[in-house]
């Protein structure tokens, strides 16, 4: 088991290097720091001197890969590639183009993101599983048909509309909660309720359909038929037999997204003014702050790889038949 | 005089339609595929959603025939050359000319006779007062505001009748065609619910007639901030939505099919490389990768602005780049499924037998592997389509979507943020975008379900 985990970690290294090289190519080779400076400075009449100053301030004035002016190890370390990309591997995110420490910002902004994402995630799964079970209970009936059609309708609505609609009705028309904003401590609940409700609602269509497919497949298996033949009541069958076994594919399927809850939701946080990592990323995209975008890309891929690893481990935990080797 | 303008996206969409047509023509001979497809169309939902999608595609095709009109020649100019307007129009603009040319000064509600904002006006005595001014075009034929209800009702009735008559023509022709076919003794497939198709065509025709005829006299979906008709905007946005769905899907297909099948078929190092590529790509948060790439495109356009002398050319380039980026970042899901399925299929006896006979790899893949994974590709095409249409709205909202000059549902929603906080609320723009987008995505999702039911071997019914 331990050997397997170590091997999976080693396997993650080439992937992280790949991500790093890809983002480096995107951010520095396709468009050069000169062009970046020109866009950032924005003015039509900028001199080469302005561009050089901008680059020097942010450390973009070094050569890309090989610095021939230095000796020894500094030939490779005093380059943009080492400074901006290799250091990411050690989780040294450096400074944003505005001069703030990205690492510090991430630690600070992680908590509001989690405060929205974790409840949305847990309540969402519970609600989706509940609906999926109800649909499976009444399968091959008019109820199933209409519930499934309703699910398709729900998942055909863009998430932007859920947010706009929620803000409009709950906050503006009925004045139940503030439209947007955030406060620390216990006051946060007032601001978090609406994003969480909307997050759950927006996920119902897709989630219920997916879990229904899993449960239906499970319901066709032999042990269910045996249990029914023994005279187990339909409700017992559903909650005591079907649910625990169906949870295996459900849980292993959602484990991969758990680490990514840190990243927050771009849309939700920007609409509701929650100072989490999602709105941080969005602000960086809109201000064209490439240093922050690069850091978030790297963080996101690390979290995804951790998610994949957790998925593998969770298989062994919930299903003793699976052995990792 | 007009000067045709061929945008790259126009060229691509027409090539795509032509090749899909050719593909379907080829399929006629394949009895199995024919049976599957008739399975899709023999369901009422499948038929209805197909007609809705077809209608959207037709509108976007009309909107993809672009041209520039010649400017009226100046009196004293001696040049023989004709000057063309820098405004690129499409055939659809000509159809909707009445919508396009009747702008107000600012917001106005659907069917409203008055503007949304108060203005200073002078009455007969010369004193200045503030009130909501009458619209220049919305309901300007009415003398009295009380006539509006009757006017709308009367015109709606006429429009509905006209819509029915127009719909009767294609339906009648089709019935005649079916009858002729029956006369000739050709066995026709009775399981296809033509009546559903007829109802859909009639409904669409009625709605289209109603909208077109009423919009000549009113702004039936209101006007936006600069007084442009919202109905016009949302119809123009259809092209953006449909094209982003089809073109981005088109980009994903070759990558996913070639890489997925070769990984599953050749195994070994090919498999390792392909797996490495898709794990790396899918580990990067999709939206960030898209945002980063779009920012780069922006920089490119800004530094090469001399290549894009028309605004339409610039927004078209950005639009195509966006389709490309969306496609390049979302092929990994299908690729993974194709790899797994190919691994399974290439273990089957007849594939092994083909190997033993010395059949070339190309033939084995073409004859044995590809037909066995087609259902995965078909299902992915329709699902991706609706995913991309939804993605466009989110991306435009974030600011990394289509060009702000382009009509799109995302841009309309983006504007709604400030509109919904006004008092009274400006709800019509976002509602129009919602309804049109929802209809298209819902139809695509329902259609994809039918395709899955008919093609997926796990669920396909009556397939010996």
Domains of chain A (ranges, CATH numbers) = 2-90 (no CATH), 104-318 (1.10.3720.10)
Nearest CA in chain B to A265: B287
- Asked if B156 and B210 count as a contact pair (C-beta separation under 8 A), the reply is yes
Chain mean pLDDT for chain B: 82
CA distance B25 to chain A (A): 31
Chain B residues at the A interface, defined by Cβ less than 8 Å, are: 276, 279-285, 287-289, 291-293, 295-296, 298-300, 302-303, 386, 390, 393-394, 397-400, 413, 416-417, 420-421, 425, 430, 434, 437-438, 441-442, 445-446, 449
Torsion of CA B102, B105, B110, B114, to 10 degrees: -110
For the stretch B2-34, pLDDT in tens is 788 888 888 888 888 888 888 888 777 777 777
For the stretch A172-197, pLDDT in tens is 778 777 777 777 767 777 788 888 99
State percent of chain B over pLDDT 90.
Answer: 8
Both tokens of residue B124?
């007969």
CA B217 distance to own-chain centroid:
27
Q: Please report which confidence band the pLDDT of residue B355 belongs to, taking 50, 70 and 90 as the band edges.
A: confident
CA B339 distance to own-chain centroid:
30
Q: Please report which confidence band the pLDDT of residue B81 belongs to, taking 50, 70 and 90 as the band edges.
A: low
Q: Which helix (H) or strand (E) holds B128?
A: strand B128-131
B438 → closest Cβ in A27, A36, A156: A156
Report whether pLDDT(B464) > 60. no
Q: Is A297 on the interface with B (CB under 8 A)?
A: yes
Instruction: Work out the average pLDDT over B134-140.
Output: 71
For the stretch B254-265, pLDDT in tens is 999 999 999 988
Contacts of B367 (CB under 8 A, 6+ apart): B354, B359
B394 → closest Cβ in A26, A31, A158: A158
Q: Do A260 and B430 touch (CB under 8 A)?
A: no
Q: Do B390 and A158 touch (CB under 8 A)?
A: yes
Who has greater pLDDT, B412 or A69? B412
Report whether pLDDT(B145) > 80. no
Residues A120 and A126: their CA atoms lie apart, in Å, by 10
CA atoms within 13 A on the CB side of A23: 33
CA proximity to B116, closest of B233, B228, B225, B229: B225
Query: Which residues does residue B129 pair with via DSSP β-bridges, in sequence order?
Result: B121
Who has greater pLDDT, B361 or A72? B361
Q: Do A266 and B416 touch (CB under 8 A)?
A: no
Domains of chain B (ranges, CATH numbers) = 107-214 (no CATH), 229-463 (1.10.3720.10)
CA atoms within 13 A on the CB side of B316: 19
Question: How big is the A-B interface in CB pairs under 8 Å?
Answer: 120
Q: Is A30 on the interface with B (CB under 8 A)?
A: yes
């Amino acid at each position: 088991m331990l050997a397997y985990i170590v091997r999976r970690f080693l396997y993650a290294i080439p992937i992280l290097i790949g991500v790093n090289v890809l983002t480096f190519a995107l951010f520095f080779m396709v468009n050069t720091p000169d062009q970046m400076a020109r866009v950032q400075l924005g003015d039509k009449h900028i001199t080469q001197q302005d561009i050089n100053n901008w680059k020097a301030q942010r450390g973009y004035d070094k050569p890309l890969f090989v610095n021939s002016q230095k000796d020894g190890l500094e030939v490779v370390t005093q380059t943009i590639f080492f400074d901006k990309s290799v250091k990411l591997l050690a989780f040294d995110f450096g400074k944003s183009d505005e001069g703030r420490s990205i690492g510090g910002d991430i630690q600070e902004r992680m908590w509001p993101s989690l405060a929205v994402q974790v409840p949305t995630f847990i309540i969402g799964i519970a609600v989706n599983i509940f609906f999926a079970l109800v649909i499976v209970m009444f399968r091959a009936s008019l109820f199933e048909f209409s519930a499934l059609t309703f699910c398709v309708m729900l998942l055909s609505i863009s998430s932007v509309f859920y947010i706009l609609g929620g803000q409009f009705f709950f906050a503006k028309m009925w004045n139940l909660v503030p439209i947007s904003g955030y406060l620390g401590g216990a006051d946060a609940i007032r601001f978090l309720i609406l994003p969480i409700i909307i997050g759950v609602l927006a996920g119902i269509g897709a989630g219920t359909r997916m879990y229904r497919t899993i449960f239906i497949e499970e319901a066709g298996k032999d042990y269910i038929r045996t249990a029914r033949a023994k005279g187990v009541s339909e409700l017992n069958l559903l909650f005591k037999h079907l649910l625990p076994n169906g949870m295996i594919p459900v849980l292993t399927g959602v484990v991969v997204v758990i680490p990514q809850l840190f990243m927050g939701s771009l849309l939700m946080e920007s609409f509701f003014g929650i100072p989490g990592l999602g709105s941080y990323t969005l602000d960086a995209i809109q201000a064209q702050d490439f240093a922050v975008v690069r850091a978030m890309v790297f963080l996101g891929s690390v979290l995804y790889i951790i998610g994949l690893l957790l998925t593998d481990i969770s298989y062994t935990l919930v299903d003793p038949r699976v052995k990792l080797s | 005089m007009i000067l045709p303008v061929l945008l790259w996206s126009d060229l691509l969409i027409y090539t795509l339609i032509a090749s899909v047509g050719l593909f379907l023509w080829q399929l006629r001979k394949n009895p199995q595929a024919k049976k599957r497809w008739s399975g899709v169309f023999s369901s009422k939902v499948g038929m209805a959603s197909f007609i809705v999608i077809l209608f959207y595609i037709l509108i976007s095709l009309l909107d993809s025939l672009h041209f520039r009109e010649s400017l009226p020649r100046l009196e004293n100019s001696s040049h023989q050359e004709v000057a063309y307007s820098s405004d690129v129009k499409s055939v659809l603009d000509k159809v909707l000319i009445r919508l396009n040319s009747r702008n107000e000064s600012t917001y106005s509600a659907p069917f409203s006779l008055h503007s949304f904002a108060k203005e200073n006006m002078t009455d007969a005595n010369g004193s200045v007062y503030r009130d909501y001014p009458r619209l220049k075009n919305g309901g300007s034929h009415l003398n009295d505001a009380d006539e509006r209800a009757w006017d709308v009702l009367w015109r709606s009735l006429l429009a509905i009748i006209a819509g029915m008559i127009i719909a009767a023509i294609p339906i009648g022709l089709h019935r005649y065609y079916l009858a002729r076919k029956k006369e000739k003794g050709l066995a026709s497939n009775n399981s296809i619910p033509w009546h559903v198709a007829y109802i859909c065509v009639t409904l669409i025709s009625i709605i289209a007639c109603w909208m077109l005829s009423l919009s000549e006299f009113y702004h039936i979906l209101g006007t936006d901030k600069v007084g442009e008709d919202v109905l016009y905007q949302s119809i123009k946005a259809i092209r953006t939505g449909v094209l982003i769905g089809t073109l981005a899907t088109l980009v994903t297909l070759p990558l996913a099919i070639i890489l997925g099948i070769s990984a599953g078929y050749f195994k070994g190092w090919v498999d390792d490389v392909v797996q490495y590529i898709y794990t790396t790509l899918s580990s990067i948060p999709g939206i960030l990768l898209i945002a980063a790439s779009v920012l780069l495109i922006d920089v490119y356009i800004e530094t090469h602005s001399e290549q894009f002398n028309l605004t339409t050319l610039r927004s078209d380039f950005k639009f195509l780049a966006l389709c490309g980026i969306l496609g390049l970042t979302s092929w990994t899901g299908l690729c993974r499924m194709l790899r797994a399925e190919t691994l399974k299929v290439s273990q089957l006896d007849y594939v092994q037998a083909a190997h033993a006979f010395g059949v070339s790899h190309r033939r084995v893949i073409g004859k044995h592997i590809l037909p066995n994974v087609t259902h995965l590709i078909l299902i992915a095409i329709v699902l991706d389509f609706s995913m991309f249409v939804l993605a466009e709205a989110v991306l435009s909202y974030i600011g990394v979507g289509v060009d702000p000059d382009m009509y799109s549902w995302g841009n309309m929603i983006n504007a709604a943020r400030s509109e919904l906080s006004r008092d009274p609320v400006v709800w019509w723009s976002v509602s129009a975008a919602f309804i049109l987008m929802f209809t298209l995505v819902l139809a695509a999702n329902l259609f994809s379900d039918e395709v899955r039911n008919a093609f997926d071997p796990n669920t396909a019914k009556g397939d010996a």
